Structure 1
Amino acid sequence: MADVRTVPVLCGVVLLALAAGCTSSADEGKPDARPAVTAGSPPPWTEPANYTYTVERKCDGKESLGVYRVTVAGGEVSKIDRTDGRTATGEEEIELPTLGGLVELAQTAADDGGKMTTSSDPADGHPVVIAFDVSDAGDNEDNTCFVISEYSLG
């Protein structure tokens, strides 16, 4: 006869075994059709046609390379304003893409063997940090980082 204290443990083991065996062999090898969204994951983001965002070119522990306000209209960047009161010295002003374009730049770097890191807003899924490094040194000296804030539709 089983000890009364071991019954809950045995029930738990049986439930786990049953849950593990609840897949049919016809489903083996097929990818799960449901999106892989876990609790606390931001929702998938679809880039709108019209929005604005502020972006700072700055990696952790490094000096800011500029803060810009970007306006996107009809899916294209229509205006870029530098908002940090500085002017580019010794470098050209950059042409910033849409947020989707920034994500594509990072993905291209990753596809080419670099490192890519992104973070998304938990409320609507828009990117809030996009960083990539195309160097193979792994020292983070050549990281390109964009910190997104003040994202708004319209």
Structure 2
Amino acid sequence: MVRFERALCALVLVGLVGGCTSDPAEPAPATSGPPPSAPAWTEPAAYTFTLVRGCDDTAPEGRYQATVKDGVVTTATRAGGAASPAPSSEADLGPVTGEEGEEIDVPALGQLLEMAETAKDDGAEVATEYDLTDGHPVKVTINVMEEVDGLECWTVTDYQP
């Protein structure tokens, strides 16, 4: 009887050890979980950034360099060439500042986030991407579905607090 118990224990031990190992040729199971999230962003007292308006990266509607102090854009200058409207666009492209192309009031990043939240509250589809390092917004896409040209994209680059 003792031999039988030893044999049974040995068999169980071999089964346990064999069951706890994995075949090195098999890939490890994929871990599921949320993607890494950005830290909460607080608008600094002063910063600079470049705002690119337009959903087509190869032909943006405008590129603006902005300086912000206390949540308000203090200077904004158009960078690069003039914007050209889509053939169906009804945008006013008057040379407001002596340059060709549509001119806008460049929002501070806090204002851009407020604009996105207001659009979302009004029923638009809104997607916001954040920098994983410090949490500042890097892209805001607003899709106002009732309008033919209801898609607006804003990309933030060269952010310097």
Q: Over aligned residues, Cα RMSD in angstroms?
A: 2.9
Match of 1:143 among 118, 131, 151: 151
TM-score, length-normalised on structure 2?
0.65
Unpaired segments of 5 or more residues in structure 1?
10-37
Q: Which residues in structure 2 correspond to 1:11-50 (within 5 Å)? A: 40-50=36-46
Change (3 A) 1:80 1:55: same
Q: Deviations over 1:106-143 (max 9, x none)?
A: 11111111100111111101000011012237x8x421
Alignment partners' CA distance in 1, 2:54 and 2:124:
18
Aligned length: 123
Q: Which residue of 2 aligns with 1:75?
A: 71
Q: Which residue of 2 aligns with 1:58?
A: 54
Q: Deviations over 1:17-63 (max 9, x none)?
A: xxxxxxxxxxxxxxxxxxxxx66211110011100100110214673
Counterpart contact for 2:61–2:83, Cα < 8 Å: no
Alignment partners' CA distance in 2, 1:87 and 1:136:
25
Q: Which residue of 2 aligns with 1:97?
A: 107
Q: Deviations over 1:52-106 (max 9, x none)?
A: 1001102146731100001101221101100113267742410011101001111
Bigger Rg, structure 1 or 2: 2
Alignment partners' CA distance in 1, 2:73 and 2:130:
21
Kindly provide the amino acid, as one letter, of the partner of residue 130 in structure 2: S
Q: Which residue of 1 aligns with 2:89?
A: none
Kindly provide the amino acid, as one letter, of the partner of residue 104 in structure 1: E
TM-score, length-normalised on structure 1?
0.68
